[in-house]
């Protein structure tokens, strides 16, 4: 639930309270939240996210804050700073946004996202690349480095969740239409079928997860 640019954190929290009340009546497994505003200073981000977390807990909801452009979690570096002050937060990892914000795959040896990975609750499986949040097709050979990076990142999350004692993990294939799906100029024809993209990703990650389990089944449980 992105705030309007004119909204204050207090106004955004008031809207969240209404939405949390509505969501709690459905008894959801968890609530995924697009929260905050990238224009707010760090202290304001921390105060807002802490209050949003407490608000959700008051309704008995597990709240998973999604990494997304235009929100409080638009940047990996800012998110790591927020975690230092709010280690209780849990996250939905959509790293496609961080890739385009940073304009690179986040696989430099100096990159350490362990503090974030150890707090990821849910994965949204879209593949971003240095110039955009969604590759035209994740099976295309020219985007294999981006796919490989994303899958390595997701596998780190699965390993962390296993070590944290998660009985299951959740993942949503999230190739989207709203400005994400590439179109040809002038004709506006999509370069790929959106359903097929998500179906391909679902099948791919089911196989990927089974491969991960087979590789780790001999490892001791926490």
- What Å distances lie between residue 178 and 123, 181, 185, CA to CA? 19, 7, 16
- Write down the pLDDT at residue 53: 98
Mean pLDDT along residues 25-50:
97
Residue 116 backbone dihedrals phi, psi, to 5 degrees: -75, -50
Residue 41 banded pLDDT, cuts 50, 70, 90: very high
Q: Does the pLDDT value for residue 1 go beyond 80?
A: no
Helices and strands, number each (H, E), in the chain: 7, 5
| pLDDT tens-digit readout, 185-195 | 999 999 999 99
- Write down the pLDDT at residue 217: 81
Domain ranges (residues) in the chain: 9-215
- Write down the pLDDT at residue 2: 67
Residue 76 banded pLDDT, cuts 50, 70, 90: very high
Q: Does the pLDDT value for residue 161 go beyond 80?
A: yes
Residue with tokens 């004119």: 6
- Write down the pLDDT at residue 166: 97
Across the chain, what does the average pLDDT equal? 96
- Write down the pLDDT at residue 4: 80
- What Å distances lie between residue 77 and 72, 80, 113, 190, CA to CA? 11, 5, 9, 34
Class level of CATH domain 9-215: alpha beta
Mean pLDDT along residues 27-35:
97
Residue with tokens 């926490």: 222
The two most distant CA atoms of the chain are separated, in Å, by 56
How far is 197 from 22, CA to CA, in rounded Å? 32
């Amino acid at each position: 639930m992105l705030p309007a640019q004119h909204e204050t954190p207090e106004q955004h929290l008031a809207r969240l309270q209404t939405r949390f009340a509505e969501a709690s009546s459905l008894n959801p497994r968890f609530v995924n939240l697009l929260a905050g505003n990238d224009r707010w200073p760090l202290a304001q981000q921390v105060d807002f996210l802490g209050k949003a977390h407490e608000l959700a807990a008051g309704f008995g909801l597990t709240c998973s804050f999604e990494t997304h452009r235009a929100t409080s979690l638009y940047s990996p570096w800012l998110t790591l700073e927020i975690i230092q002050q709010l280690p209780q937060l849990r996250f939905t990892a959509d790293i496609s946004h961080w890739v385009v914000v940073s304009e690179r795959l986040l696989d430099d040896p100096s990159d350490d996202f362990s503090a974030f990975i150890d707090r990821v609750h849910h994965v949204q499986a879209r593949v971003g690349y240095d110039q955009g949040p969604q590759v035209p097709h994740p099976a295309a050979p020219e985007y294999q480095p981006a796919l490989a990076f994303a899958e390595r990142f997701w596998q780190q999350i699965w390993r962390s969740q296993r070590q944290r004692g998660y009985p299951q993990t959740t993942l949503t294939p999230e190739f989207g239409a709203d400005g994400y799906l590439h179109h040809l100029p002038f004709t506006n024809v999509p370069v790929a079928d959106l359903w097929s993209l998500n179906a391909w990703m679902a099948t791919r990650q089911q196989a990927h997860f089974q491969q991960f389990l087979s590789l780790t089944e001999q490892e001791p449980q926490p």
